[in-house]
Structure 1
Amino acid sequence: MAQSNGMYDRLAQSLRDMPRQLGAQPKAVLVISAHWEEREFTVMAAERPPMVYDYSGFPEHTYHVQYPAPGLPALAEQVRQLIQSAGFSALLDAQRGFDHGSFAPLVVMYPLADVPVVQLSLRAGYDPAEHLAVGRALAPLREQGVLIVGSGLSYHNLRRMGPSAAVPSKQFDDWLQQTLVTTEPHQRAQRLIDWQDAPAAHVAHPQEDHLLPLMVAVGAAGHDEAVCVYHEEGFFGGVTVSGFRFGQEGGV
């Protein structure tokens, strides 16, 4: 989004490479965005979602980004039903648009905006077990060709960026790598439920909104292995961050 003297180049390259890794273009994308929270799980149901510029102080051009991907109300209703089948309340929102948790990565991954997109909110309270359970409920969508994207950030402490973040972000990233990549898939859910016990957990995530989308993605992944597809040390002058994909290349 913002011009950055190359700061985002490695991240952008990892996003541009995702369609190649997936093989076939997905029939739709379901994004769990760190930037949308409701009292109950809520699904974007607009046919033509508007844009939500949910930030301030950014360069002027970032307020003119357009991502005209269509919504998919039928998928939104299916998501709602799957969440309800898992025992959670779920609502539809026909007015909600794309926040930057969705359009920022997707404008790089699918710049033609030719894949339908639906967003799912986080649920207030940030219960990791609930978000993992919702992910498990959504897993059947993958068999239908729906790409499930958890959009957050592995380190999100805006008051501690730059060099002072180098040690805690690396400590938390090491734990995250171990949890997702080297831990047996059937054990990683419990580690994520207990994420607050991780080294530097509350420095990395004073508020866990940017960690919760990962929980949904892990739940949906089932026993698929995790692959680190993006890793950078020195992001924003000192932060270690990573991104992950679940499953073999050639599948959503």
Structure 2
Amino acid sequence: MQQQPVFFLSHGGGPWPWLDGPFREGFAWLEASLKALPAQLPARPRAVLVVSGHWEEPQFTVSTAAQPGMVYDYYGFPEHTYHIRYPAPGAPDLARRVVELGKAAGIAMGTDPTRGFDHGTFSMLQPIWPEADIPVLSLSLRADYDVAAHLALGRALAPLRDEGVLIIGSGFSYHNLRQFNAAAAAPSAAFDAWLRHALIDLAPAERAAALLEWEKAPAARICHPQADHLIPLMVAVGAAGNDPGICVYSENDLRGAITASSYRFGSDATPSGFDRIGGNGR
């Protein structure tokens, strides 16, 4: 079985794939990059493990539901978006494997039989696999946002890549909802440049060391006043091991001003074609 890569994806806002008009159009470049993701895989994954920035627990927790429901964790959107479905099956067997791997590494793991898909999962997966026919496992963050702990969890879960499991950290490279406007242009660009350097240019050990001190990066706390949307990256980088990183989506005019990006680790170094800032995009 060919080894799957690992991704950190910026997932967009709310239930955007189910909307029309300007809000949806603002994510057009992101949507195109997500639709292109399956072509970057060596084979169709047997399951997808999603670490979402929208689920946190006192300890790392996996959903064990065979048919997960939906978590409509957004506000102010049209009524129909509170009835949408992403009907992918769950992955109880994979959940048991994740708990096993975590505990073998000395990491406390919990289970939740009722947790459904939050929008960090279903809004990101809808453009990638609209058929919703690949099992999906949800894995929480740990609520203390401890970077070292999340890197360690990623390292513990790395064997899943050789078992046909695609690991995705779903967050956002910029996430300050109070400054989601033109004021975000300079800080988001500064932080994104630092993140690109850390994930692409640094050797794996240096990459992890830089992420341990991410708060020292330019505009770090302006871009992430709360770390929930950045911490899924740490699990992805831990699972990436020594694989190099490549930017698979970037733009500097998201919502008219914001610089945002997504990354892939492993498989190969082929650009996705959706890295505007790096010169591989349109």
Normalising by structure 1, what TM-score?
0.97
Following the alignment from structure 1 to structure 2, what is the Cα–Cα distance between the partners of residues 61 and 129? Answer: 40
Please tell me whether residue 3 in structure 1 is matched to residue 20 in structure 2: yes
Aligned to 2:128: 109
Matches within 5 A, 1:165-204: 165-204=184-223
Following the alignment from structure 1 to structure 2, what is the Cα–Cα distance between the partners of residues 93 and 65? Answer: 22
8 Å CA contact retained: 1:234, 1:240: yes
Matches within 5 A, 1:67-78: 67-78=86-97
Over 3 Å counting, the alpha-carbon distance change for 1:27 and 1:89 in structure 2 is: same
Overall identity of the aligned pairs, in %: 55
8 Å CA contact retained: 1:161, 1:237: no
SS of residue in 1 equivalent to 2:153 = helix
Aligned to 1:23: 42
- Return the offset for 1:249: 4.4
- Return the offset for 1:94: 0.6
- Return the offset for 1:4: 4.3
- Return the offset for 1:103: 0.5
**How many positions carry a matched residue from both structures?**
251
8 Å CA contact retained: 2:150, 2:235: yes
Instruction: Provide structure 1 residue ranges, at least 5 long, that are not aligned to the other structure.
Output: none
Choose which of 245, 261, 265 in structure 2 pairs with 1:226.
245
SS of residue in 2 equivalent to 1:206 = coil
Following the alignment from structure 1 to structure 2, what is the Cα–Cα distance between the partners of residues 84 and 50? Answer: 27
Output one character per residue of 1:130-178: Cα deviation in whole Å (capped at 9) or x when no partner.
0000000000000001000000000000011111000000000000000
- Return the offset for 1:3: 2.6
Following the alignment from structure 1 to structure 2, what is the Cα–Cα distance between the partners of residues 47 and 132? Answer: 27
Structure 1 runs (4+) deviating above 3 angstroms are none
CA RMSD in angstroms comes to 1.4
Output one character per residue of 1:68-121: Cα deviation in whole Å (capped at 9) or x when no partner.
111111100111111112212101111100001110111111111110000000
- Return the offset for 1:58: 1.4
Instruction: Provide structure 2 residue ranges, at least 5 long, that are not aligned to the other structure.
Output: 1-15, 270-282
Aligned to 1:131: 150
Output one character per residue of 1:53-79: Cα deviation in whole Å (capped at 9) or x when no partner.
111111223222211111111100111
Choose which of 71, 75, 99 in structure 1 pairs with 2:118.
99
8 Å CA contact retained: 2:42, 2:267: no
Following the alignment from structure 2 to structure 1, what is the Cα–Cα distance between the partners of residues 83 and 31? Answer: 19
Following the alignment from structure 1 to structure 2, what is the Cα–Cα distance between the partners of residues 23 and 10? Answer: 23
Output one character per residue of 1:182-218: Cα deviation in whole Å (capped at 9) or x when no partner.
1112210010010011000100100000000000000
Please tell me whether residue 211 in structure 1 is matched to residue 263 in structure 2: no
Following the alignment from structure 1 to structure 2, what is the Cα–Cα distance between the partners of residues 147 and 119? Answer: 12
8 Å CA contact retained: 1:22, 1:249: no
8 Å CA contact retained: 2:172, 2:229: yes
